[in-house]
Amino acid sequence: RNNLTYLRFIKSYLETNPEKSVLIRDRDKLVKNIDSKWSNYEYWFKHIAPIGITRKKAEDLFKRESGIESMKKQLNNLRFILNENN
């Protein structure tokens, strides 16, 4: 059921006829934004993360708080549409 919902979402997006150049620009922008957010992780971990949190839990929390999780989903969607296997 989730796959069908996902494909319907992609289909409805493609029906808007997005230009490939726009998709590529958006993909590149997301990659830069994700990299930029990750560059702040060490500072966040040392100064902002809850005391005593494990590295794995801290990464998960950071991804949620910084929006990396949703940006990665968007990036995966764009890569799917562009037929990239990354």
Residue with tokens 């590295």: 55
Confidence at residue 82, expressed as pLDDT on a 0 to 100 scale: 93
Question: What is the structure's pLDDT at 86?
Answer: 56
Q: Is the Cβ–Cβ distance between 62 and 68 less than 8 Å? A: yes
What pLDDT shows up at residue 49? 95
pLDDT digits (tens, 9 = 90+) for 31-74: 999 999 999 999 999 999 999 999 999 999 999 999 999 999 99
Confidence (pLDDT) at 5? 87
Helix (H, G, I), strand (E, B) or coil at 54: coil
* Model confidence at 20: pLDDT above 70: yes
| pTM of the predicted protein model | 0.81
Cα separation, 78 vs 10, whole angstroms: 9
